[in-house]
Amino acid sequence: MDAKVFLKETYGNTRYQLGGHGKRTVDVLKEAIVNVDDRLPSDQYGAGKVIEDFQQKMADYLGKETAVFFPSGTMAQQAALRIWCDAKGLKRVAYHPLSHLEIHEQDGLKELHGIETVLLADKERLIELDDIKGLDEEVACILLELPQREIGGQLPDFEELEQISGWCRNNGIKLHLDGARLLETLPYYRKTAAQVAQLFDSVYVSFYKGIGGIAGAILAGDEEFTQQSKIWKRRYGGDLISLYPYILAADYYFDMRAEKMGQYYEEAKELAELFNSCHTVSTLPLKPATNMFHVHIEQPMESAVRIVSEVQQETGIGMTGYLVQSAVDRCSFEISVGDALAAIPKDSLKELFRLFNQKLQPPH
């Protein structure tokens, strides 16, 4: 596993940050509920106006019949894949080797559901139609992650998605979208969320990543699918007596930021150019496909930690809270552009990259 070094002290003490929407504090909730009518009835065990109105809003946005609010995406996606496996009577699914389910969930899909997984493509690239056509084993469902986070937020062409969708439907394979960052893909595709979602049988969207809410997710599909998902939500213990803090925050920040994804995307491309102008630094991809990309530094970990820490301390601008070592002389970190970047004074941003580039230069 890649070594990871946290830079909590220097990052935590910065005034500005390159990525995200700002530091996560309880103000995220306070801001969302300041104008909410305190007489509004709470949702209870998955029912009530608060949750039902938001679920319908998201179903309409995604162009699906119905939608269900889950407290976590992990819960929602495992439920989705189990439903499709049960429908086909086959406990086998396929996804990318760096799928969240494969590397971040402690094998929950396998341990809790006994579902076998087939890994498509390799770690360095996106899944392509030929990978799916070349499957040696029958699968009930294929999961596609848009964008593919662990390789810098890369995206397939929309035409490739259409071909994959058509092939899966013609061959009786369900297609599920890990759309944790679906909204972030829309400026690149120049499509609506519904136009992307129509290619998939089920869709998951997160509300704490690009949207910047507290937590929570939507799982959308047809009526039969979502009714089954409600059963699995109950089995998982996801039907808390009330989920309204998550829902109110999700709704508030969705309305605030859904239409700003194009701005974040343009700013991410400009930011990537600044990183790529620095000595021994490159981004993956070179031109971001979304507001997210990875920054690679060709320096030993010890040197990179020192340089980034010094730059953060001297400028008061947080570049990253961690570095991941991927080779002896190479490390990286991830940036997702949000509201925070625009708050940085232009002169301060210019000074950040001047200083960063200077410190990356070899000693004379």
Structural domains in the chain?
3-24+260-360 (3.90.1150.10), 43-241 (3.40.640.10)
- Residue 204's nearest CA partner among 45, 43, 68 is 68
Q: Specify the pTM.
A: 0.96
Pairing, β 322-327 against β 317-318: unpaired
Q: Which letter does DSSP use for residue 131 in this model? A: H
Q: How far apart are CA 86 and CA 106, in angstroms?
A: 22
Question: How confident is the model at residue 364, as a pLDDT?
Answer: 72
Question: How confident is the model at residue 203, as a pLDDT?
Answer: 98
Q: How far apart are CA 195 and CA 258, in angstroms?
A: 16
Tokens coding 157: 């062409």
| Distances from the Cα of 169 to the Cα of 182, 190, 355, angstroms | 21, 24, 53
**Do the Cβ atoms of 76 and 204 come closer than 8 Å?**
yes
Q: How far apart are CA 185 and CA 192, in angstroms?
A: 10
pLDDT digits (tens, 9 = 90+) for 247-261: 999 999 999 999 999
Torsion of CA 245, 250, 252, 255, to 10 degrees: -170
Q: How confident is the model over 159-169, as a mean pLDDT? A: 98
Question: How confident is the model at residue 326, as a pLDDT?
Answer: 85
Most distant CA pair in the chain, distance: 68
Instruction: Flag whether pLDDT at 186 surpasses 50.
Output: yes
Residue type, 138: E
**Do the Cβ atoms of 178 and 217 come closer than 8 Å?**
no
Q: What count of Cα atoms within 13 Å lies in the side-chain half-sphere of residue 147?
A: 28
Q: How confident is the model over 211-217, as a mean pLDDT? A: 97
Question: How confident is the model at residue 2, as a pLDDT?
Answer: 67
Tokens coding 51: 């949750």
Average pLDDT of the chain, as a whole number: 96
Tokens coding 260: 């700003």
